[in-house]
Amino acid sequence: MSTEHGANGGAVPAHVAIIMDGNGRWARARGLPRHAGHSAGVRPVRQCVEQAARRGVKVLTLFAFSSENWRRPREEVSRLMTLFLEALDRELDELHANRVRLRFIGERERLAPALQQRLSAAEMRTRENTGLVLVVAAAYGGQWDMVQAARGLAQRVARGELSPEAIDQAVFEDQRALAGLPGVDLLIRTGGEQRISNFLLWDLAYAELYFTPRLWPAFTTGDFDAALAEFAARRRRFGRTDEQLQADALPQVTEASR
Ligand code: FPP
């Protein structure tokens, strides 16, 4: 519940999440190997980060690699990991210069040690930045996230730091991978499929869903703006009635109340 203006007229979503799908099909349509599609997917990542910052989005979360993607051929997984490392090495200085704060979510221990080390270093380096928060989900699954949150709470209970009765929505939210960040306002999925695919589950509770057939490597800043325009035109009721909204009954949601 984190739009800037409560009711949706012209609102910019505070948190946009993207499932970047269609790299393989984009490559196949050009007679190229799948990894060429992933490489071509880096440019729209860069463009969306820039456009999100320009449009006043506060948090951009990208689904780079899912828990299920480990099932892909070893060669493809290995090339994807190399691509992430190279993109991070190449872009980090500029991201930092533009005050972007990086955060990585997922089962880090499953990633190569060199990549884990670079992710932590990038988070450390950018942790004081006050611009766009760029979250990259790698080796991430929404179900894994719920399980790690439950385990974390159980450990705190076992240590005597928390009583089971004290576990409420806010306590659970603090244990999410995205702890401290607002829920997702707008989910964009490219590539034509209309499903969540075990991406953020808790965090998508009130998200507006936007599906486009555009394949990820062909996604442009214009496409990003079209998704924002569609979001601005939607009516978000958060469980209330249209009449309540018309009476402007929806309280202004402030940073502090999120
Ligand atoms: C899904 O397309 C895409 C992925 C599994 C990888 C996403 C990676 C990138 C966009 C590379 C750049 C990312 C960063 C963070 C630098 P798919 O292979 O499932 O496509 P298909 O459905 O057409 O087979």
pLDDT tens digit string along 18-61?
999 999 999 999 999 999 999 999 999 999 999 999 999 999 99
User: Using CA atoms, how far apart are residues 221 and 253, in angstroms rounded to an integer?
Assistant: 28
Q: Is the CB of 190 under 6 A from ligand 1?
A: no
Query: 198 an active-site residue?
Result: no
pLDDT bin (cut points 50, 70, 90) of residue 240 is: confident
256 alpha carbon – ligand 1 mean position (Å): 35
For position 75, what pLDDT does the model report? 94
Q: Is the CB of 20 under 6 A from ligand 1?
A: yes
Q: Is the CB of 19 under 6 A from ligand 1?
A: no
Angle between helices 221-233 and 42-55 (to 10 degrees): 50
66 alpha carbon – ligand 1 mean position (Å): 10
For position 9, what pLDDT does the model report? 59
33 alpha carbon – ligand 1 mean position (Å): 13
Say which of 8, 21, 23, 223 is annotated catalytic. 21
Using left for φ > 0, alpha for ψ between -120 and 50, and beta otherwise, residue 140 falls in beta
8 alpha carbon – ligand 1 mean position (Å): 31
Q: Is the CB of 218 under 6 A from ligand 1?
A: no
Task: Provide φ and ψ at 142, rounded to 5°.
Answer: -60, -35
Q: Of 72, 87, 73, 43, whose CA–CA distance to 219 is shortest?
A: 43
Q: Select 3-257's CATH number: 3.60.150.10, 2.60.40.10, 3.30.70.920, 3.40.1180.10.
A: 3.40.1180.10
> Is pLDDT of 148 > 70?
yes
For position 241, what pLDDT does the model report? 76
Q: Is the CB of 77 under 6 A from ligand 1?
A: no
pLDDT bin (cut points 50, 70, 90) of residue 1 is: very low
Can you tell me whether residue 91 is helix, strand or coil?
Answer: helix
Atom of ligand 1 nearest to the CA of 42: 12
pLDDT averaged over every residue in the chain = 92
Span 203-227, pLDDT tens digits: 999 999 999 999 999 999 999 999 9
> Is pLDDT of 238 > 90?
no
Span 152-189, pLDDT tens digits: 999 999 999 999 999 999 999 999 999 999 999 999 99
> Is pLDDT of 5 > 50?
no
Which residue among 18, 21, 71 is best mutated to probe the pocket of ligand 1, counting the most ligand atoms within 8 A of its Cβ? 21
pLDDT bin (cut points 50, 70, 90) of residue 3 is: very low
22 alpha carbon – ligand 1 mean position (Å): 7
User: Using CA atoms, how far apart are residues 31 and 55, in angstroms rounded to an integer?
Assistant: 36
Q: Is the CB of 137 under 6 A from ligand 1?
A: no
For position 246, what pLDDT does the model report? 75
For residue 43, the cross-strand partners are none
Q: Is the CB of 210 under 6 A from ligand 1?
A: no
